[in-house]
Amino acid sequence: MKYAICYNSEMKNSEVVQKELITALSENNLEFRMLNIDNLSSDVDFAFVIGGDGTILKAARYYSDYEIPIFGINLGRLGFLSQTLPENLKNSVKKVLSGNYKIEKRLMLKSNGYKALNDFVVKSGISGRASRFALEIDNQFVCEYLADGIIISTPTGSTAYGMAAGGPILYPCADVITIVPICPHTFAARPIVVPSNSIIKVIPIKDYEYTVYADGQVAFSLDREIIISKFDKMASLALLSDNEFYTVLRNKLHWGYSPIDS
């Protein structure tokens, strides 16, 4: 196998982790390439990605076209997409090289030539202005919104912006899409969960222009309807066998901890 060490040079401590990975792969006589996150290559079989969730999302979007699995090493904050921390790197790499991991396929979305692993977020093109738009699902009118925007999310993205906006947390392999309005100007608006094969349209009202964000990183503007649907390929995440989803939730969100010491 040929490995990639993908890094974000702007992340603090990235070089330290790079050196440790280089040592681990070299000691096992394994072939690898050093790749900046802004200059990735498909000429590999497996990618170690050093950085926060943003770095991992960028790598996932790129490598999804080639079905190449990625393994995230967290240098950021929450790190829902990462599998290990720098202090646990040596043991985690040993597990990967011995095959003690699984490949999990994750649903992705597409819109206007862009793709996203977490979500598409639609907001007014004018900063600070609420958006007015209509929502259609499978050519059926659902409702109109006056809101700060709307989040169209995969299950992977349900623990990102969607969760912060009051949306549900979904199991990552669920075959559904979540639609979450952002600060709607009504108490009646609620998140909606729909099948993954749904065609979702966000339709501008009057003369609004919208900015659409893919995974919070890539942005484009539109003044016409925005169509979001399932991408025909999936992201491949390499997960350690002992990093189960509910364990990650407990650790990242501190669920199940009593506020009072017993």
CATH number, residue 244: 3.40.50.10330
Residue 9 shares a structural domain with residue 82:
yes
Cβ neighbourhood burial of 261 (10 Å; 0-12, 13-18, 19+): exposed
pLDDT in tens, 224-241: 899 999 999 999 999 987
Note whether 98 and 141 are same-domain residues.
no
User: CA nearest 69: which of 42, 89, 90, 98?
Assistant: 42
Which pair of tokens denotes residue 205?
């009202």
**How buried is residue 260: exposed, middle or buried, by Cβ count under 10 Å (0-12/13-18/19+)?**
exposed
Statement to judge: residues 96 and 139 lie in one domain: no
Q: Are residue 224 and residue 241 in the same domain, yes or no?
A: no
Stretch 77-100: mean pLDDT, rounded? 86
Q: Assess whether 55 and 165 both reside in one domain.
A: no
- 194 lies in the same domain as 150: yes
Predicted structure pTM score: 0.91
Closest CA to 67 of 90, 45, 92: 45
Pair 113, 103 in one domain: no
Instruction: Specify whether 91 is located in the same domain as 164.
Output: no
Predicted local distance difference test score (pLDDT) of residue 197: 98
Domain count, the chain: 2
List the single range of 42-46, 78-82, 189-193, 213-217 with lowest mean pLDDT.
78-82
The greatest distance separating any two alpha carbons of the chain, rounded to the nearest whole angstrom, comes to: 63
Residue 180 has pLDDT above 90, yes or no: yes
Alpha-helix residue ranges (DSSP H) falling in 122-181: 161-164
Find the domain containing 54 and state its range: 2-107+234-253
Q: Is the pLDDT of residue 119 over 90?
A: yes
- Residues marked active site are found at 53
Instruction: Indicate whether 43 and 100 sit together in one domain.
Output: yes
Tokens of 232: 């025909």
| Same domain (yes/no): 246, 211 | no
d(CA 9, CA 137) in angstroms, rounded, equals 41
